[in-house]
Structure 1
Amino acid sequence: MGGRKFIISGYYGFSNAGDEAMLSAMIHSIKEADPAASITVISGHPEATARTFGTPAIHRFSPFALLRGILRSDIVISGGGSLLQDVTSRRSIYYYLSIMAAGILFRKKVFLYAQGIGPVRSLKTRRILKIVLDHVTAITVRDEFSHDFLKGLGVKTPVSVTADAVLSLPVVSKEKGREILRRAGVPEDRKIIALCVRKWGDSDALAASFRKYVEALSGTGMYSIVFIPMQCPDDVCMAAKIDSPELKNTYILRESYDIPTLMSIVGAADLLVGMRLHALIFSALMHIPMIGISYDPKIDHFLHSIERDSLFSIYEFQCEKLYNTSIRLLQGIQDPPVWKKVDEMREKSRKTISVLKTLMDR
């Protein structure tokens, strides 16, 4: 039976490349499983989402449109990402749970698509989370930590461990990325360090720490440092805090790029240093050496999945360690390659759609 109606809930329409990449991967996988599928996306900016992905979209805070969309659907998908946590917002977890609860109330199939779950600090929220998840149709999570968290809550619905949805995206050519860097004035005769940063905590102190690192690299005259935004304009503003007129060989990309273009830009670099989870995943997909700097457990969870660790937490910034590790990787002195493990995780990410296919056929 084809032509099922899906509605996808998540943090879409906010120019966050990681979330948009997850949406792209989910739409591609659903269409692969059911070419006649009808997909509606719940978005913060429905017009932009519809234009980018070619699917109908409804506003995330339009209650009647949301209820109508859920009522007309066959399957409600709670999309990938860290939606079910109460660290960045205490309200957002209730919003996403309410979408699932509506799906359950209307007797729809409700599917969690490669979620990263937790931390959930509030005991009350944990109890509500368990009640809702006990009644969904199927759960897939992107890491063992999420699985263990749900097991600890005593969630009754079976939980499958897969991998981040973005790992299922196809690898792209590096040529477009190289052309963008050429147009930005980045020389072709120096190695390129891609820097993906974000605001977090004391952003001024964090920017000052990164500036020392960039100053050290800039002082060698051997490398180009390119700031790549994963969310505009926030990441551009953070890059501007780090950069200064005195620094040489630094470049800030200020545009918002689509997912294949961002992947191509990352692929044109020789090293990626990133706080953003999906910048690290893009680097892994493109087989570019990476250094992860942790601000959230999801960074550590992904790196552990490919048998790596974050270099340090932003709360214990170690400029000298970051510089020395960067130089070592740029000189081609690496730990055993992680690419085989990355490819294994790519295969694991495709397990999510297998679980969804089983659910579709019930």
Structure 2
Amino acid sequence: MANYKIVISGYYGFNNAGDEAMLSAILQALQGTFDSPDITVISGDPKSTAASFGVHTVPRFSISSICRSIFSSDLIISGGGSLLQDVTSWKSMIYYLSIITLGVLFRKQVFLYSQGIGPVRYRVIRIILKHVLNHVDGITVRDKESKGFLQRLGVHRKIYTTADAVLSLAPADLSIGRKILDKRGIPPEKKKIGLAIRYWHHSREWMEKLEKTVHRLAKEKDAVIICIPMQFPEDETAAEAMGKGDEGVYFLNEDFSIEELMSIIGNMDVLLGMRLHALIFSALMHVPFLGISYDPKIDNFLALIGQKASTSVQHMDGEKLYNDTCRILSSGLDAKDWEKVAALQERACENVQILKSLVTHKEENP
């Protein structure tokens, strides 16, 4: 598998830490498995992606460049993350399906890598999804709900349930985050509650309840609230609704690297998050966390370690979130929860091994 030509499609180049971490995890896995792979990433910001990851890139909306890259490749990887769902946008789902379809039409090996699939609301898109995925070479999904959805849809390809690829990353050095927090003048002696939120539907109502809860925690638990942007500057705008300039609330209004974000989260006593990969970073850094659900992917991840979301944006329960946070600050997570996280980390490493076996089998049986 020397000099294998690989094209990777995903939501890359948009300053979303979760997706950039996903790309980092996939690249590390590929470079550790293939002999000098020739990798091209389809990116919304080709220059930035090329500089950050040392790969070839093509612009996300350059049809001719994408077609040339796929035509000259050996393998197309779609993933990871929640690419195949139409809640955020049906147009984006059609886009990612189009990339997969090009790979199939050009008779390339096509592999879905650690995907979280669904919901898919529109019947016509479900029909397209079924027919396209029945022609790919391999599928790994990050939760059993995604596998069940595809099976009910009528996808007959073998589907492997693994875990989110980001869980295969190594933890970050805690000193990196400590320096960032010290530079911002955040009191080291106080309990640190990380908050990773984003704008979502009906933002005003649930955000007002969340604001009251975090301010109550800051006041009654002598804690500081640290708003952590997983996508900059979008998350900064959402976090400012928590009370810019108020005592006890700090805003990390900067575009941090994946390693910096992981280390910052590693310095928290608890993280409250509606960003999936903020929760995953917490798991990697062994920081207790509570999920605020806005999308099934949050509930699906929490279910993997036997948890449920503390509350949701649809039915924000500030009192429950407050009580759950106090409990976590007092006792942390159960040892069994961390054992489940360790098991997920092992399963995350299976993604590339499954890919390798499929590629090897196809080379031996062309």
TM-score (norm 1): 0.98
Cross-structure match for 1:302: 301
| Separation (CA, whole Å) in 1 of partners of 2:240 and 2:68 | 43
Shift of 1:336: 4.8
| Separation (CA, whole Å) in 2 of partners of 1:106 and 1:323 | 54
Cross-structure match for 1:156: 156
| Separation (CA, whole Å) in 2 of partners of 1:298 and 1:175 | 31
Structure 1 contact 5–73 (Cα < 8 Å) conserved: yes
Percent identity between the two aligned chains: 49
Structure 2 contact 174–267 (Cα < 8 Å) conserved: yes
Structure 1 residue 348 corresponds to structure 2 residue 363: no
Any residues of structure 2 matched to 1:253-332 within 5 Å, and which?
Answer: 253-332=252-331
Question: How far does the alpha carbon of each residue in 1:18-49 deviate from its partner, in whole angstroms, 9 at most, with x for none?
Answer: 10010000000000101410110000110111
| Separation (CA, whole Å) in 2 of partners of 1:217 and 1:146 | 36
Q: Could you tell me which amino acid in structure 1 is paired with residue 262 of structure 2? A: M
Q: Could you tell me which amino acid in structure 2 is paired with residue 317 of structure 1? A: M
SS in 1 for 2:254: coil
Structure 1 contact 328–334 (Cα < 8 Å) conserved: no
SS in 2 for 1:91: helix
| Separation (CA, whole Å) in 2 of partners of 1:23 and 1:203 | 29
Unpaired segments ≥5 residues, structure 2: none
Cross-structure match for 1:226: 226
| Separation (CA, whole Å) in 2 of partners of 1:273 and 1:132 | 37
Structure 1 residue 206 corresponds to structure 2 residue 206: yes
| Separation (CA, whole Å) in 2 of partners of 1:345 and 1:333 | 19
Structure 1 contact 221–249 (Cα < 8 Å) conserved: no
| Separation (CA, whole Å) in 2 of partners of 1:293 and 1:221 | 20
| Separation (CA, whole Å) in 2 of partners of 1:360 and 1:134 | 17
Shift of 1:218: 2.4
Structure 1 contact 197–276 (Cα < 8 Å) conserved: yes
Question: How far does the alpha carbon of each residue in 1:84-108 deviate from its partner, in whole angstroms, 9 at most, with x for none?
Answer: 0111101111110110110011110
Structure 1 contact 75–108 (Cα < 8 Å) conserved: yes
User: Residue 333 and residue 61 in structure 1: after superposition, are their counterparts in 2 closer, same or farther (change >3 A)?
Assistant: closer
Deviates more, 1:200-209 or 1:303-312: 200-209
Cross-structure match for 2:172: 172
| Separation (CA, whole Å) in 2 of partners of 1:326 and 1:130 | 42
| Separation (CA, whole Å) in 2 of partners of 1:235 and 1:244 | 13
Structure 1 residue 73 corresponds to structure 2 residue 62: no
SS in 2 for 1:265: helix
Structure 2 contact 4–35 (Cα < 8 Å) conserved: no
SS in 1 for 2:81: coil
Structure 2 contact 236–251 (Cα < 8 Å) conserved: yes
Structure 2 contact 288–332 (Cα < 8 Å) conserved: no
| Separation (CA, whole Å) in 2 of partners of 1:129 and 1:73 | 23
Shift of 1:334: 4.4
Structure 2 contact 197–275 (Cα < 8 Å) conserved: yes
Q: Could you tell me which amino acid in structure 2 is paired with residue 325 of structure 1? A: D
Question: How far does the alpha carbon of each residue in 1:87-136 deviate from its partner, in whole angstroms, 9 at most, with x for none?
Answer: 11011111101101100111100000010000011111111001100000
Q: Could you tell me which amino acid in structure 2 is paired with residue 231 of structure 1? A: Q
User: Residue 255 and residue 309 in structure 1: after superposition, are their counterparts in 2 closer, same or farther (change >3 A)?
Assistant: same
Any residues of structure 2 matched to 1:103-114 within 5 Å, and which?
Answer: 103-114=103-114
User: Residue 158 and residue 20 in structure 1: after superposition, are their counterparts in 2 closer, same or farther (change >3 A)?
Assistant: same
Unpaired segments ≥5 residues, structure 1: none
TM-score (norm 2): 0.97
| Separation (CA, whole Å) in 2 of partners of 1:5 and 1:32 | 15
Cross-structure match for 1:26: 26
SS in 1 for 2:291: strand
Structure 1 residue 88 corresponds to structure 2 residue 88: yes
Question: How far does the alpha carbon of each residue in 1:233-283 deviate from its partner, in whole angstroms, 9 at most, with x for none?
Answer: 1100011111244x3111000111111111000001110000000000000
Structure 2 contact 39–55 (Cα < 8 Å) conserved: yes
Shift of 1:360: 2.1
Structure 1 contact 14–45 (Cα < 8 Å) conserved: yes
Structure 1 contact 197–238 (Cα < 8 Å) conserved: yes
| Separation (CA, whole Å) in 2 of partners of 1:171 and 1:203 | 33
Any residues of structure 2 matched to 1:32-43 within 5 Å, and which?
Answer: 32-43=32-43
